[in-house]
Amino acid sequence: MATKEKADRNAAASKKSSGMTLKRRQTIVGMSFITPNFIGFFVLILIPVLFTFRLCFSRWDGYNPMEFAGLENFRYIFTHKVFQDAVIKTLIFTVCSVGITTFLSLGLAVLINQKLKGIGIFRTAIFFPYVASVVAVAAVWQMLFQKDMGLINEVLRFFGVADPPGWLASTKWALTGVIIVNIWKSMGYYMIIYLAALQDVPTSLVEASMIDGANAWQRFWKVKWPLLSNATFFVVMMLTINSFKSFDLIYALTEGGPGTATTLMSNYIYNQSFVSWDYGRASAAAMVLFAIVAVITLFQFRIEKKFSND
Q: Which is nearer to another protein, 82 or 206 (CB)?
A: 206
Residue 223 interacting with another protein (CB under 8 A):
no
In the set 13, 17, 20, 45, which binds another protein (CB under 8 A)?
45
Q: Which residues contact 202 (CB under 8 A, 6 or more apart)?
A: none
> Per-residue x/- mask for another protein, residues 154 to 173, rule CB under 8 A?
x-------------------
Residue 295 interacting with another protein (CB under 8 A):
no
CA distance 286 to 275: 15
CA distance 256 to 283: 19
Q: Find the binding residues for another protein in span 20-39 (CB under 8 A).
A: 23, 26-27, 29-34, 36-38
Taking the complex as a whole, the smallest distance from the CB of residue 137 to another protein amounts, in Å, to 7
- The conformational region for residue 184 under phi > 0 = left, psi -120 to 50 = alpha, else beta, is alpha
Residue 47 interacting with another protein (CB under 8 A):
yes
Residue 225 interacting with another protein (CB under 8 A):
no
Residue 274 interacting with another protein (CB under 8 A):
yes
Residue 176 interacting with another protein (CB under 8 A):
no
- Say whether 229 sits in a helix, a strand or coil: helix
The amino acid sitting at 13 is A
In the set 20, 95, 136, 205, which binds another protein (CB under 8 A)?
136
Taking the complex as a whole, the smallest distance from the CB of residue 143 to another protein amounts, in Å, to 6
Q: Which of 80, 256, 108, 135 is nearest to 194 (CA)?
A: 108
Residue 253 interacting with another protein (CB under 8 A):
no
Identify whether the C-beta of residue 56 lies closer than 8 Å to the C-beta of residue 284: yes
Taking the complex as a whole, the smallest distance from the CB of residue 132 to another protein amounts, in Å, to 6
Residue 133 interacting with another protein (CB under 8 A):
yes
Locate all alpha helices (DSSP H) within 69-223, ordered by sequence: 72-79, 81-112, 119-131, 134-144, 151-158, 174-200, 203-211, 216-218
Burial class from Cβ neighbours inside 10 Å (0-12, 13-18, 19+) for residue 61 reads exposed
The amino acid sitting at 263 is T
Q: Which is nearer to another protein, 46 or 95 (CB)?
A: 46
Taking the complex as a whole, the smallest distance from the CB of residue 5 to another protein amounts, in Å, to 11
